[in-house]
Amino acid sequence: MRKRFKQKNNKGFSLVELIISFALLGVVAIGVFMVMSAGSNMFTSVDRQINVQYKSQTAMSQFQQYFMGCSKGITVYDYEGNGIIYFDNGEDVCAFRYDPGGKAIYFGSAGTSSAKADLTADKITDPFCSGVEGFSLTVLNQGSGALAQSIRVDLTVADNSGKTYNSNQIFSFRNRPVYVSAPADEESTLLDTYVDTITGALEAGD
């Protein structure tokens, strides 16, 4: 008696089944790619935000060190679109200059005797902070006379992608420097007046 053998089905997948399989695989792949892309974009965005925040905090920390060391006088002036801040550190005259066109803050310092010639706007050129979209200083006088008690710093920093970070802080002066108000004519007059003011204070031994 002959044994009957079942014939095996070796025809495989049909074309329709393959198309459906590849379509499903494509949908899954697109979903995975979108999730990975969103995660990558989120990481990049957070990283950029951290970078501008770190730059802002670093600048604020340096401002605090400089302004806490101010002892004789301070003045703030806006000259031809450049915000200029003069102050002393007990030995030299120091200055910050904000260039809104170049989006940068520059620093300079000179001995009291040479400050009138060495700290004009065009000579305050040491890089301090880049990518600055906004910068302003407000000297706060909360007592009698012309003595300054603290200073408010407003700073906006941005990176090349347009990610920005706004910060502001108020720093109290360790000493009570004289606030020299800005004249209405030109920056050189302010610098001269400021240097004369702190020189007089130094000579008086205040």
Distance from CA of residue 195 to its chain's centroid? 29
pLDDT, position 61: 93
Reply yes or no on whether the pLDDT at 18 is more than 90.
Answer: no
Mean predicted lDDT score pLDDT of the chain: 81
Residue 174's SS3 state is coil
Extents of the domains making up the chain: 45-204
119-176 pLDDT per residue, tens: 998 999 999 999 999 898 888 875 555 788 899 999 999 888 778 889 999 999 988 8
Q: What's the pTM?
A: 0.72
Long-range pairs of 81-84 with CB within 8 A, sequence gap ≥ 24: 82/121, 83/135, 83/136, 83/137, 84/121, 84/124, 84/187, 84/190
pLDDT, position 66: 92
Sign of CA dihedral 29, 32, 38, 44: negative
187-206 pLDDT per residue, tens: 567 888 889 888 875 444 44
Residue 38 CB-half CA count within 13 A: 6
Reply yes or no on whether the pLDDT at 177 is more than 50.
Answer: yes
